Amino acid sequence: MRTLGVIAPYLMGTYPGALVAALHARAQAAGAAMLLLRTGSQTSSYELDLCLARADAWVVILNPVSAALLSRIQASGSPVCVISHDYGIASFGSVRTDNQAGIFAAMQHLYDRGHRRFAYIGPNNMSDCLERRDAVLAFARQRADCAAPLIKEAADFSYAAGSAAVLELTASGEPFTALITATDNIALGAMTSLRENGVRVPRDVAVVGFDNSIFSRTSSGGVTTLDQSLDHVAALAFDDVWGRLGAGAERAPLSCRVAPVLILRESTGDIDTTAAPQLIDRQAAQAFIAVSEEVGQLTSGGRDAYLRDYLKRLEFRLKFACVARLLEQDKQALVVSALPERSLGPRDAVAGMQIPLEQFPSFPVSQALEPGDFIAVLLQSGLAQGTELMALCFQSRDLSSPLALETLTHEIELLCYHLHVQLMGDDLNRALNTLRATQGELLRSEKQAALGVAVAGVAHELNTPLGNCLLSVSTLSDIAGSTRRKYAEGSLKRADVEDMLATAEAAADILQRNISSALRLVSDFKRLRTEHHASAPETVGLSVFLNDLVTVLRVEARAKGADINCSLDVGRDDRFETHPQLLTQVISELVENALTHAFAEVSAGDIRIAGVFEAERVTISVADNGAGIAREVLHKVFDPFYTTRMGASSGLGLAMVNNLVTGPLKGQIHAEEGRAAGACFIITLPLRF
């Protein structure tokens, strides 16, 4: 009996899972067994000829292995056909989707409905997706009345990626009325985000997916999509390799593209004319949900115990299953480490068996295969130090329907994924322990660095006033010496005395101003400390507190040509717990900052103080209509000694504000550009301590 080999990166999913099911059905009809190799993410590094001699012909889905490995397979006499990837080797068969034909059909339908502004979302890491993107661009270029399509790369093929990408598209402000996506999952995620943000689908934006997955058929209203006819694609690939078996060079490899079929549904304003969607088998769905719950249980016990329990539950559908790990010593043999409790054959003779790589799986899968048998070998390598999982081999007992096959492949895929997560978790735990070991040292280093910055800042700021004081003292000393010398010589004149007195008065003035500046700087620096504020918080009413404070601050503001207004959005009970003296200091400093920096070029300065109650917090904003803060320096304004007016400001006011808000007031503060002009500081405080 002949065996069909299938190599795929993954077993489950709307695309590879459907192809595997269709290929298995085709192999069953031909009386053939099937061997499936799953490579996972090891596309570039997987070069082991594991099990490759055990199949007569091979179908490759996407690009799970290198072209060199496939060439070695074909050179051994086994024909190869590739689905949905171009390795650039003419001797390989090739069956691909005609992505341009499908996209053109969908866009022509939208064009006929009046759409002229298109957008596309899809990842850029697969040739099929790139072809779909290029087809969107080509369709628009061929029509003079179409705007250039908006293109947004998605992180992957998931629902979440579609949701995130469409939000970025809408945030750009560029209009579009029709959205083409690389997959149905991306389309569903995009539709959800659009609707959550008030965009009506399909009235405002029509959406088209790709794949005709079960989700596109059963979602609310359905998603217009492109059906790739995967049963037909699988049949073409199977017939190509099966027909070339024994034919040698007499039969040329197949090279063709299959045009997708446009399925119209409600997401483009159409009525679904396809057959009613098939319901998912309840038992299969329950089995999949039960397996999914294993994610949370894997880390609770030993890995080997988990594997034995898991394989035991799968046993009713399996002829044989085992887990083997690569032998650490020579990397040339696999050691069987886990089996079901009642595996066929002498179990004790299998557990611990060392199997050469080129012979795996040799026992007991070497029993006579029967038509319809399904073998899955799931490859994982290099996942963790010290434990290198190599393969899981399953041989099915009863897979009489595509649904049973899909359920089993989901379970096998999930088991392999759990192991992958567990092994990666070992590395993460080691990294976490390393981080914890160095955390104390990092904190000490950060404190020392912060202290160094503060000391350097104080020294820098004190340098100017103290330097001026030194210069003034030196001048006084010189003029005193000159006067004393002239007096001793008897040459002192009235004019000399007047010059001395004038110089002394000027020097004294400089001394007074610079000593005051130094004292003010030291006082400001001391205000950065928050540890001494140990008084208990008080309950205050926000309305009374802000109105009283604005009344006091308005006097100084009007004296400087500005005004202060207060607006409140509070309920009947606007009381909250805080330190009122510290909060007064914070708001007063923000007002003083605006009066100092904001209104140099504004004739009528306006400061707006607002208070709002939101759930378990109170928000206070202080905004002005002045010069504003450049966006590139917004993140610096709370740094100690940062100022845009050297000599007129110490640069410590906002640093003190930040320390008080995030320290004893237990809140948060940030700066942003004002809505119309100026700057806005937003303080968020808890309602209770």
**Predicted confidence (pLDDT) per residue in 140-182, tens digit:** 999 999 999 999 999 988 889 999 999 999 998 899 999 999 9
pLDDT band for 300, please (50, 70, 90 cuts).
very low
CB atoms within 10 A of CB 490: 6
Within 8 A by CB and 6+ apart from 624, the residues are 594, 598, 599, 605, 606, 607, 608, 674, 678, 679, 680
Q: Per-residue pLDDT for 492 more than 70?
A: yes
Cis check for the bond before 356: say yes or no (omega within 30 of 0): no
Q: Per-residue pLDDT for 264 more than 90?
A: yes
Q: Stretch 619-633: mean pLDDT, rounded?
A: 87
Q: CB burial class (10 A; 0-12, 13-18, 19+) of residue 21? A: buried
The mean predicted confidence, pLDDT, of the chain is 78
Q: Per-residue pLDDT for 9 more than 80?
A: yes
pLDDT band for 113, please (50, 70, 90 cuts).
very high
Give the model's pLDDT for residue 278.
Answer: 41
Q: Per-residue pLDDT for 574 more than 90?
A: no
Q: CB burial class (10 A; 0-12, 13-18, 19+) of residue 187? A: buried
Q: Per-residue pLDDT for 589 more than 80?
A: yes
Q: Is 298 helix (H, G, I), strand (E, B) or coil?
A: helix
Give the model's pLDDT for residue 321.
Answer: 66
Give the model's pLDDT for residue 681.
Answer: 93
Structure token pair of residue 225: 């999509």
Lowest mean pLDDT among 34-48, 448-462, 594-608: 448-462
Lowest mean pLDDT among 291-300, 392-401, 653-662: 291-300
Give the model's pLDDT for residue 207.
Answer: 97
Q: Stretch 305-329: mean pLDDT, rounded?
A: 63
**pLDDT digit string (tens) for 321-341?**
666 766 666 666 777 665 554
- Whether the CA torsion 660, 666, 670, 675 is positive or negative: it is negative
Identify any residues that bridge with 389 across adjacent strands, giving them in sequence order.
325
Q: Per-residue pLDDT for 105 more than 80?
A: yes
Q: Per-residue pLDDT for 12 more than 50?
A: yes
pLDDT band for 248, please (50, 70, 90 cuts).
low
* Owner of token pair 């001391």: 526
Give the model's pLDDT for residue 83.
Answer: 96
**pLDDT digit string (tens) for 413-446?**
666 666 656 656 666 677 777 777 666 566 556 5
Give the model's pLDDT for residue 254.
Answer: 95
Identify the residue with better confidence: 531 or 574: 574
Give the model's pLDDT for residue 210.
Answer: 95
Give the model's pLDDT for residue 133.
Answer: 97
pLDDT band for 457, please (50, 70, 90 cuts).
low
Rounded CA-CA distance 581/635 in Å is: 27
Nearest to 562 by CA among 505, 524, 601: 601
Give the model's pLDDT for residue 283.
Answer: 44
* Helices within 142-171 (DSSP H only): 159-171
pLDDT band for 622, please (50, 70, 90 cuts).
very high
Q: What percent of the chain has pLDDT over 70?
A: 67
Q: Which residues of 197-236 are buried (b: 16+ CB within 10 A; e: fewer)?
A: eeeebbeebbbbbbbbbebbbebeebbbbbbbbbbebbbb
Q: Stretch 575-602: mean pLDDT, rounded?
A: 86
Q: Are strands 575-578 and 605-614 parallel, antiparallel or unpaired?
A: unpaired
Rounded CA-CA distance 272/265 in Å is: 4
Q: Stretch 600-618: mean pLDDT, rounded?
A: 83
pLDDT band for 279, please (50, 70, 90 cuts).
very low
Within 8 A by CB and 6+ apart from 101, the residues are 257, 259, 260
**pLDDT digit string (tens) for 204-234?**
999 999 998 877 875 566 899 999 999 999 9
Q: Is 279 helix (H, G, I), strand (E, B) or coil?
A: coil
Lowest mean pLDDT among 99-108, 190-199, 335-344: 335-344
Q: Stretch 94-120: mean pLDDT, rounded?
A: 96
Identify the residue with better confidence: 445 or 26: 26
Give the model's pLDDT for residue 491.
Answer: 85
Lowest mean pLDDT among 111-120, 164-173, 582-591, 674-683: 674-683
Nearest to 136 by CA among 233, 219, 232, 210: 210
Identify the residue with better confidence: 359 or 100: 100
Q: Per-residue pLDDT for 530 more than 60?
A: no
Q: Per-residue pLDDT for 61 more than 70?
A: yes
pLDDT band for 275, please (50, 70, 90 cuts).
very low
The C-alpha angle 434, 436, 440, rounded to 5 degrees, equals 120
